[in-house]
Each structure stands twice: as structure tokens, then as C-alpha cells.
Amino acid sequence: MKILVFGAGIIGSYLAHILCKNNDVTLLARGERKRELEQSGLVIRHHLQRRTTIDKPVITDNISGKYDAAFVVMPYDNIRVIAKQIAEIDTKLAVCVGNNPEAEKMQNEILSNSPNKKEVLFGFQATAGKRENGILICERAGVGGMDIGALHSLPSDNAKNILEEIFKNTGYKLNCQSDMQAYLYCHLAAILPIAYLSYICDGDLRKSTFKQRAMMQKASAEGYDMLLSLGYPILPKDDDKYFRSGIKGGLMKFLYFVMAKTVIGDLAACEHCRNSVFEMELLDMGFQKLIDKSNKNPMPVWNELKKQMPPWEKLHKKYNN
């Protein structure tokens, strides 16, 4: 099938790598990243898997062409301002991948500006890493996968059929979710405390203490409770149990320890926080709007952790120079 991947960062590049196995893939990139791809191909060093792959998708810097599906993969601070460009893509299936606290607003803008009928889905792919000398170092577990769905429903049968064909025989797992708006909010409850602590620890979670990591876990639990108070379902189902007492909570304590003490955590969390301060600030602002709606729901640990973080202005000066 003919696929457009709009965005050639870590997540978009890995997605393009997977899609190249079965499909005619066009990867949209601009500037220096486009020149790297044209010169060397799509080069990914898979850190845990200890191997390097090179793919040769078509490289472009525009959205011309007709596609069976388009995946728009970029940080929230970028994707939030290109809804009209997404609307102009000649495809019947557009998937916006990544954090997005204003998914409904984006969907409405895409649909109201689209010259053709589109189904808009939202997705999240758990992939991390960094770029070094034109090579992407990718951190992932297994082949990977994507949580995907419409704002408040599962993908249509037609969309499911297209997605199944696109990812057939790749090993990449699609997890259809019934409410991606709630899913994306829940994901913010999980990741924002990690960002707060990363900034508290000067961009290095290896400096974090057991007490601080316990605060991080408790803060996420408060975030999930706040979402429940507003009537949002927990998605993926029971994901909040990783932030409470019990077996899953104990597993999360161990994962936090691994994240804090190894290069895996640096690639999966700190690297993104250091290089995406503007995105993290916007995500924080989006989640704060939900907290403000739920002012009767106390979040003392969340507020204390966030209070310990340097102001956003200082973080911009530190990491954006």
C-alpha cells in the first residue's frame, strides 16, 4: 500500500522502518534531516537489539501524492499548528501519532479544512532515542506497536482493514482503544511527573532518590484519580494500578529504578525532556486545564513535585541554547 509518514524523528523514522517491510513508503522530512536521508537512507541503530538497519523510503518535503494512509508523527508543539496541512493530504485515513491534549480541536480543524472525506485516528507509539551524526539510536521493547483509535470510539471496520493490511507480517502490534482522548490524558498523568523529576535532577534521573521516585509514582496516581473524577476512563484498562500499591505498583517501582540508573532511562525519558522543553511545557499547560476543572480533587504530591521543578523560563534558557 502507498503510505505517507509525515515526520522523520525517532518515532516517525522507526514507524517508517516497520512500514517499509510491506509498503511503498514516502517519508516527509525537511532541512538537514532531509539531506541526511537522501544521502544515507533511513539509518537506525536499534540499541537493545544491537543491530543497525538501513531502509530506502522515498524522501520528500511536501505532501503531494495520493496515499492509502498517512501517519503524522511529530512532537505536540509542532503537530498542533499543522492541522490544515494534514487536512490537505490526499488520503482517506489520517493518523496523528503522539502526545496531544487537544486532540478534539485538532480533529475538528482537520475535518473542516479537508477537501475530501477523511477518517481521523489518534495513535501512540512507545519508542524513544536520540540522533547522532545522522543516525537514529532507537530504544524500544520488541518489535513495538501502537495504541490507536478514534477520539471516542474504536477505529471503523474500514480503517481496521487498512491498518491490518499495512502492518501484516511485521510483528508490530496494533492495540485498538475505544477513547483515544482519554488514553492521551492518561498518558500525560504517567509521563509529566517523570518530566518534573527529570528537570529537578538537572536532566539526569541518576541523581534521583528513592523518595523522589516514590513521589513521582504517587503524583501519577493523583493524576489518574483526577481524570476519574472528571469521568474519563482509564486507558489502557487498569493502567493506573501501576501507580498504586500491589504487584503492578511494585513492578513500576522496579522499572523506575531501572529507568533512573541505566542508559535506557536516559534515552527513554531524560533525552526527550532535555530536547523538548517547549513540548513538555505545552503538555503541562494542557493537563493543568483538566486539573483546574477538577479543583475539588486534591493533588498535593503532584503539586509539590511540580513546585520543586525550576521555572519553565529557566529550563528554556538551559536546554534551548
> Which residue among 135, 155, 178 closes a domain?
178
In angstroms, the CA 287 to CA 290 distance is 5
* 235 in the same domain as 116: no
* 193 in the same domain as 255: yes
What 3-state DSSP class applies to 174?
Answer: strand
> Which residue among 145, 178, 211 closes a domain?
178
Spatial neighbors of 249 by CB under 8 A, at least 6 apart, are 217, 241, 242, 243
In angstroms, the CA 184 to CA 105 distance is 14
Q: What is the dihedral sign for C-alpha 240, 137, 60, 35?
A: positive
> Which residue among 138, 155, 178 closes a domain?
178
- pLDDT for the residue 67: 97
* 119 in the same domain as 7: yes
CATH of the domain at 53: 3.40.50.720
The string of pLDDT tens digits covering residues 219-253 is 999 999 999 999 999 999 999 999 999 999 999 99
| Count of domains forming the chain | 2
pTM here is 0.93
What 3-state DSSP class applies to 178?
Answer: coil
* 188 in the same domain as 80: no
Q: State how far the alpha carbon of 288 is from the alpha carbons of 11, 101, 199, in Å.
A: 26, 10, 18
| Alpha helical stretches, state H, 20-102 | 31-40, 76-79, 83-88
* 92 in the same domain as 75: yes
Q: Are 267 and 261 in contact (CB under 8 A)?
A: no
* 192 in the same domain as 88: no
Q: State how far the alpha carbon of 160 is from the alpha carbons of 1, 124, 295, 315, 321, in Å.
A: 14, 16, 39, 42, 44
* 90 in the same domain as 103: yes
My answer on whether omega of the bond before 300 falls inside 30° of 0, hence cis, is: no
What 3-state DSSP class applies to 149?
Answer: strand
| 135: number of Cβ within 10 Å | 15
Q: Are 100 and 181 in contact (CB under 8 A)?
A: no
Per the structure, the complete domain to which residue 308 belongs is given by 182-319
- pLDDT for the residue 262: 80
- pLDDT for the residue 34: 94
* 191 in the same domain as 249: yes
* 195 in the same domain as 84: no
- pLDDT for the residue 321: 60
Question: What mean pLDDT do residues 172-199 have?
Answer: 96
Q: State how far the alpha carbon of 213 is from the alpha carbons of 36, 194, 255, 281, 295, in Å.
A: 39, 9, 11, 21, 25
- DSSP codes, 50-67: TEEEEE--EEESS--SEE
The string of pLDDT tens digits covering residues 51-93 is 999 999 999 999 999 999 999 999 999 998 999 999 999 999 9
* 59 in the same domain as 145: yes
* 126 in the same domain as 250: no
Question: What mean pLDDT do residues 167-192 have?
Answer: 96
* 188 in the same domain as 96: no
Weakest-pLDDT range from 112-121, 131-140, 242-251, 286-295: 131-140
